[in-house]
A and B are shown apart, each in its own frame.
Chain A
């Protein structure tokens, strides 16, 4: 980040599983931690910063202690910011700040969960009332898909966006997923396949929705001193921004997201703009999530996302804005219903030249963006801009 001591992502690991009935969630946390540390060339004893949104299925305020205890880690710094799926992108920025403040120099970020093994179905959601808002929203059956459906419907109404344009986003993801041996859905689909799949909550079809998968991932963020002793190529964190976005007392505009602010902040910190991005990981809980984020991050004008994604814009390696080259949450993996982690991991792969060869982009600057929660009520937008290391 401009004017500050550099910090780096030195390790990244995506669990290869998509269904783990015989493992505990905590075991997955440990496995991804081990994988990311091995990737960085560091050991468990090197870790002194512990970042996680906890264990989603426990919803326990004590989750950082649960995780530290299970992993057997003694941290000097802990952060459990929970924005839902974008948390792990926020954690990267928080880890950089903690490292710059000297609170830690090897920060571990972990995510794990097993919604598939628990039998969660697309379009379903809890009926339990947990927050003050739930008594005014969830009682009406407002699940993620009905809320993102409302956003899509309104975007269509204001801007003329079509189901076929949203389908282009799934098509591009599926083109990428065919080269990912771990992807849940590796077969390319067409626009027709998407718009002819069953409607789950109109106007969203089944293929507008992300997968439900078990698994997880981890990242290791380190100081410049630590990174100088490592052999592995690291990725510099150039900028970070986030924006909690909400119902605003009833003034909410569901065609806009916190990406407007989080993107602006991340770009400003990096001293870069949308035109500098060679590869983008964009949170894809649903196709509409991608469309609104593309507009709000400034890759095109507000309302023009539908036209922008037509004609293979998002398809690597030759599209104007190659996105989610692992197949993303739509086709590959959405561990624990939280896709921010895999967004960062694929951006790291791209910058290291370790994406699947058919979709490898010549990328020196990449972006990872997350939308956690619901764009129709509350969500945490988080953006990081990452750069290929030059040394």
Chain B
């Protein structure tokens, strides 16, 4: 399975490492060495203190569903992927990140524990993080 025909992320010098890590099976967050903020999406300057001393940190890939909505229709989306669950997952490291949950809507709720999976794209160095429920 590949990500297309869904939109493939645009890779910039600022986000290249994030997408490449995803292609290698790692979810990265940014951590500011000056003020300690762990943040998403990646930016070269800390959005709290403007420090340029920010590091990449490998996230655990675990978190919980902060909220979600299941779309029953979505123009241009593969029929097989409907309903589409758009969600915010709160990573164990802190940030709430937008993503998809690959599950039946009936099988998740707010608070459900989830873990990351990566969907390949036709770009070799770009994979997209999505989440699946952790089996109890």
> B37 in the interface, Cβ–Cβ < 8 Å?
yes
Given known contacts A127-B7, A140-B99, A249-B95, A376 and B88 CB-to-CB distance under 8 angstroms:
yes
A251 to B91, CA, bound (A): 11
Contact B67 A151 (CB under 8 A): yes
Contact B8 A139 (CB under 8 A): yes
Interface: A200 (CB within 8 A): yes
Find chain B residues with CB under 8 A from A340 CB.
Answer: none
- Chain A neighbourhood of B84, CB < 8 A: 141, 146
User: B55 contacts the other chain (Cβ, under 8 Å)?
Assistant: no
Mask: chain B, 19-45; 1 = CB below 8 Å from A; 0 = not: 000000000000000000111110000
Decide if A121 touches B75 in the complex (CB within 8 Å): yes
A220-256 CB contact bits vs B (8 Å, 1 = yes)? 0000000000000000000000000001011110100
A260-287 vs B, Cβ < 8 Å mask (1 yes, 0 no): 0000000000000000000000000000
Given contacts A129-B9, A150-B86, A150-B87, contact A143 B71 (CB under 8 A): yes
Most buried by A among B38, B47, B77, B96: B96
Q: Report yes or no: B70 in contact with A154, Cβ–Cβ below 8 A.
A: no
Q: CA–CA, A139 to B72, complex, Å?
A: 17
Query: A136 and B12: CB pair below 8 A?
Result: no
B-side contacts of A75, CB under 8 Å:
none
Residue A197 interfacial (CB < 8 Å): no
Interface size class of B (residues with CB under 8 A): 35 or more
Which residues of A are found within 8 Å of B87, using beta-carbon distances?
Answer: 150
- Please report the C-alpha to C-alpha distance between residue A145 and residue B10 in the assembled complex, in whole angstroms: 23
Q: List the B residue with the shortest CB-CB distance to A153.
A: B67
Question: B110's closest neighbor in chain A, by CB?
Answer: A157
Residue of A nearest to B32 (CB): A249
CB-contacts of B54-111 with A (<8 A): 66-77, 84, 86-88, 91, 94-100, 105, 110
CB distance from A229 to the nearest CB of B (A): 50
Tell me if B51 counts as interface (CB < 8 A to partner A).
no
Taking the complex as formed, is B15 at the interface, i.e. its CB lies under 8 A from any CB of chain A?
yes
Tell me which residues across on chain B come within 8 A of A2, comparing CB atoms: none
Q: For A139, give its contact among B6, B48, B91, B95 (CB under 8 Å).
A: B6
Select the residue from A140, A145, A149, A154 with max chain B CB neighbours within 10 A: A140
How many Å lie between the Cα of A151 and that of B86 in the bound state? 12
Are the CB atoms of B71 and A123 closer together than 8 Å? yes
Is B69 a contact of A153 with CB atoms below 8 Å?
yes
Do the beta carbons of B96 and A251 come within 8 Å of each other?
yes
Contact yes or no, A129 B10, CB < 8 A: yes
**Beta-carbon nearest neighbor of A142 in chain B:** B86
Bound: A252/B10 CA distance, A: 23
A contact residues around B105 at 8 Å (CB): 202
Question: Is A182's CB within 8 Å of the partner chain B?
Answer: no
Query: Are B69 and A201 in contact (CB-based, < 8 A)?
Result: yes
Contacts of B73 in A (CB 8 A): 123, 200
The minimal Cβ–Cβ distance linking B11 to chain A, given in whole angstroms, is 8
Contact residues in A for B47 (Cβ distance below 8 Å): 249
- List chain A residues, Cβ under 8 A from B38: 250
The reply to whether A153 and B110 form a contact with Cβ atoms under 8 Å apart is yes
CB distance from B57 to the nearest CB of A (A): 13
Does A60 make an interface contact (CB < 8 A)? Answer: no
A150 CB contacts on chain B under 8 angstroms: 67-69, 86-88
Q: Within the assembled complex, what's the spacing in Å between the Cα atoms of A363 and B70?
A: 41
Within 8 A of B (CB), among A125-146: 127-129, 132-143, 145-146
Q: How far is the CA of A128 from the CA of B66 in the complex (A)?
A: 26
Pair B95/A141 contact, Cβ less than 8 Å: no
Query: Does B71 lie within 8 Å of A133, measured CB to CB?
Result: no
Whether A147 sits at the interface, judged by CB under 8 Å, is yes
Residues of chain B lying within 8 A (CB to CB) of residue A377: 98
> Which among A124, A152, A153, A199 is the interface contact of B72 at CB below 8 angstroms?
A199
Tell me the bound Cα distance from A136 to B98 in angstroms.
7
B128 close to A (CB within 8 Å): yes
Is A204 among interface residues, defined by CB-CB distance under 8 A? Answer: yes
Contact between chains at B7 and A139 (CB < 8 Å): yes
Which chain B positions have C-beta within 8 A of A145? 69, 71
Residues of A within 8 A of B97 (CB): 136, 250
For residue B120, give the distance in angstroms from its CB to the closest CB of chain A: 14
Enumerate 15 A-B pairs (CB-CB under 8 Å) in ascending A order.
A139-B7, A140-B130, A141-B77, A141-B100, A143-B74, A145-B71, A153-B68, A154-B66, A200-B72, A200-B73, A204-B69, A249-B37, A249-B48, A250-B38, A252-B88
Using CB atoms and an 8 Å cutoff, list the residues of chain B in contact with chain A. 6-12, 15, 37-41, 47-48, 66-77, 84, 86-88, 91, 94-100, 105, 110, 128, 130
